[in-house]
Structure 1
Amino acid sequence: MATTFDPFRDLDRVLSGSLRTPASAAMPMDLYRSGDHFVAHIDLPGVDPSTIDVDVEERTLTIRAERRDTTDEDVQWLSHERPTGTFARQLTLGYGVAPDRIEADYSDGVLTLTIPVADEAKPRKISVSHKGSRQVIEGEASAAQPVGV
């Protein structure tokens, strides 16, 4: 039997092993800012919602979830690519967010976290007042004489 050489398969295998962490492989995430909040979409297909745990301690946001193996013990695997077990992922929150107002929603296998920007970190307009001396001159002005001279 001849073996074929596929450089892209080998390259993919090498890059997958070195660039992806177990957490990112099991819990891929998209994170973006929209207006005055950050949004994280974390893929958790096949996870029982009761096993999802999201907590904040200090400035660390931790997401835990469990995907249970539902197959029989007596099987012969031909391909087993979907990870099972308990997974965790941590994000370090900056001081510009409000961790006490984070909201979480799990729908269609995607956990969505909405992380509001802290009020003190929002840009705001500061009005500038001018407290100069004002002098009121009373009298009549003529065309030949400038006012205030």
Structure 2
Amino acid sequence: MTTSPTTPAPVPPTPLRTDPVRINPTTWNQFLGFDQAQLRPAPSTWLTLAGQGPTDAEGRLQHAGDVPAQLARCLDNVEDLLGRAGFTFADVLTMTVWTTDVDAVLAGYDVLIRRLAPATPPATLVGVQRLALAGMAVEITVQAGR
């Protein structure tokens, strides 16, 4: 893999210091694959990602009108950035899914659950009027650390 002067080389992954303590006083969230809270030690390395939409490397929208495919593409972009920093989905501390169609995201939420498994980071689903590109129905932000 080659890198440009503006793209740092990937950081080699380091093992997680400890598994999170999952805090779920109720069980309604289990079918959505997230924990209501997680207790973790303070990370020594913190990674914040800008919103990742369903775009290709040139920023062009992919999968207009197909919310599950947009979710998958967003996760591809999130996973790419995590990997470039030496992280995986297991390192995600919190995730926010922004959408213009909450019902469609809920109907396709299994895409997200399968990709994150076995990780179950605390997550929030937020309905918004619109996102950055016409036809964009989903955008995902995450914070990761270890």
The bucket for the TM-score relative to the shorter chain is under 0.3
Bigger helix share? 2
Bigger strand share? 1
TM-score between the two structures when normalised by the length of structure 1: 0.24
Larger Rg: 1
TM-score between the two structures when normalised by the length of structure 2: 0.24
